[in-house]
Amino acid sequence: MRNLILFYSKTGNTALVAQTIKDKFKSHVKELNDFSHNKTGIEYLFPTIFESASINHYNFDIDYYETIFIGTPVWISSLTPAISEMIKNVDFKGKNVVLFNTMKFYGGHNAIRRMAKLVKKSNGNVIAAFTIKTNTSKENIVKNTISAINDINLKD
């Protein structure tokens, strides 16, 4: 199975989850960077409404891949502007998509719901989603990620 992991990470927790998925499935990985600075509070509150991200525009040629993992930290019960911007600019037609996010306390379900809506608008087929709580040790984050990806039952 050919997989691609697209993710944004501010503190390293989402990157740790992406690395764990990479190790499990021997996937390719592309980390997005947001070059925007001085966002307003409104832009952080409603990242799917305001196009406030300035991301590195890789050539997101996803034709080679069967499954695309998309990961983001949860910001105020939503996805990050960088991931929102990327999803809006990629056509996921015919691709299976697995969504994941990381959070300390709450909002994971709402962020997944918003991500799924955007992926569907971009023609993707969301086949699974999971949230990893990060208010724990790095070892537990890895363990919980392995458990979550085993639960979605994808082939290695």
pLDDT surpassing 60 at residue 49:
no
User: How far is residue 151's CA from residue 134's CA, in Å, rounded to a whole number?
Assistant: 19
Tokens standing for 98?
Answer: 């697995």
How do residues 102-146 score in pLDDT, each as one tens digit?
999 988 999 999 999 999 999 999 999 999 999 999 999 999 999
Task: Assess contact for 44 and 75: CB atoms under 8 A.
Answer: yes
What pLDDT score does 53 carry? 46
Torsion angle in degrees (nearest 10) through CA of 58, 63, 65, 70 = 50
Q: Which of 22, 15, 14, 21 is nearest to 133 (CA)?
A: 14
How do residues 53-107 score in pLDDT, each as one tens digit?
445 555 567 889 999 999 999 988 888 888 988 898 899 999 999 999 999 998 8
What pLDDT score does 141 carry? 97
Residue 135 burial (CB count, 10 A) = 10
